[in-house]
Amino acid sequence: MKPKVAFFDFTSCEGCQLDSLNIDPGDLLDLLAVVEIVNFREVKTIREDNYDIAFIEGSISREAEITRVKKIREQAKILIALGACACIGGINCLKNHYSMDEALKIVYGDDAKYYDTIPASPVNAVVPVDYYVRGCPPQPQELLKVVKALLLGKNPDIPNFPVCVECKMAGNICVFERGETCMGPVTRAGCNAICVTAGRHCWGCRGLIDEPNIDSEKDILKKYGLTPKQIIEKFGIYNRYSEVTK
Ligand code: SF4
Ligand code: SF4
Ligand code: SF4
C-alpha cells in the first residue's frame, strides 16, 4: 500500500502548494509511483480524509485553524510544515505588530466585524511538526528530498549553515560590497542563495540557522547604515514570531 499524502492550506498565499507542482516532471512521476495523493485542493477535486502524511501550508491565524490543524495532527502519522508561513510564521506574523482589531480594520475596513483573527504563529506553536520544508516558497528539490528521506525512514539532510556559504560557492559578489544589506549570514542555507544570484539580497525566508550570531548580524547592519528600528524590521520580515524581533 502506498502512503497516502494530503496537502492542506491555512493562512497563506498558496504559493507553496503551487510551487510544489514545479518538481521536475520525471521526479514527480517517480514520486507518484510511491505515494498516493488523496487531498490536494489545487490539483484534484476528489478528497479523502484518510491519509498518512499531511503537508500544512500557511500559518495559524484564526481560532478555527487551531481546531482544524489539531484534527489533522490526530489523523496524520507524519506532519510536515510546508513553507515559511508554516515553518516560522513568515510574513503573516508582520500583523502581530498590531492589535488584532487594528489589523482587521486595516485589511477589511468597515467589514472587519465579519471576520476574526488571532496573532499569527507557525504550525509548531500549536501541534508537533515532524519535518520542515523551508522557504517562501520552498525549492521543489528540497520538498522532494524531504519526502524521499521520510519514505526511507531517514532524517533529511537540511543545511544548518548560513546562506553565505552557498552564496560564495555560487561565485556571487557580496551585496555588502555595494553598500546593500543582507540576512544571509544568519539564514539557513538550502536555496543556493538564489536571490543573491538573481541580483537581489537574502530576506531570510528560510528562517534562522540554529545558534545564529544575532549580535554580529545586528552590528553589520548597523555599520551599513540601518537604524535599530530598521534592523528589527529586517529581522522581522520572515522571523517576526522569533524572539530576536521582540
Ligand atoms: S511561504 Fe511564501 S509562498 Fe508559501 S504560502 Fe507563505 S507567503 Fe505564500
Ligand atoms: S550577499 Fe548576502 S548571502 Fe551572499 S555573502 Fe553577502 S551577506 Fe552572505
Ligand atoms: S536567498 Fe534568502 S530570501 Fe532568497 S530564497 Fe534563499 S533564504 Fe530565501
* pLDDT tens figures, 125-155: 999 999 999 999 999 999 999 999 999 989 9
Per the CB < 8 A criterion, the answer to whether 209 and 185 are in contact is no
Q: Are 193 and 166 in contact (CB under 8 A)?
A: yes
Residue 15 has pLDDT above 90, yes or no: yes
Residue showing cell 487531498:
39
**Torsional sign, CA 52, 119, 137, 13:** positive
Question: pLDDT by residue (tens digit) across 46-103?
Answer: 999 999 999 999 999 999 999 999 999 999 999 999 999 999 999 999 999 999 999 9
Instruction: Output phi, psi for 15, to 5 deg.
Output: -65, -30
Q: Would the CB of 146 count as within 6 Å of ligand 1?
A: no
Res 38 pLDDT > 90: yes
pLDDT band for position 108 (cuts 50, 70, 90): very high
Cα 31 to its chain centre, rounded Å, is 22
Distance CA 36, CA 34 (A): 7
Mutational test site, ligand 2, from 169, 201, 224, max ligand atoms within 8 Å of CB:
201
82 lines ligand 1 (CB under 6 A): no
Q: Is the pLDDT of residue 246 over 80?
A: no
> What span, in angstroms and rounded, lies between the C-alpha atoms of 121 and 87?
9
Ligand 1 centroid to Cα of residue 84, in Å, is: 6
Task: Name the average pLDDT for the chain.
Answer: 95
Q: Which atom of ligand 3 is nearest to the CA of 201?
A: 1
Q: How far from chain centre, in Å, is Cα 99?
A: 24
- 174 grid coordinates: 557580496
pLDDT in tens, 183-237: 999 999 999 999 999 999 999 999 999 999 999 999 999 999 999 999 999 999 9
Report the distance separating Cα 159 and Cα 145, nearest Å. 12
The three cell numbers of residue 226 are 540601518
- What is the whole-number distance in angstroms between the Cα of residue 42 and the centre of ligand 1? 15
Name the one residue in this structure whose C-alpha cell is 506574523. Answer: 93
| Residue 90, helix vs strand vs coil | helix
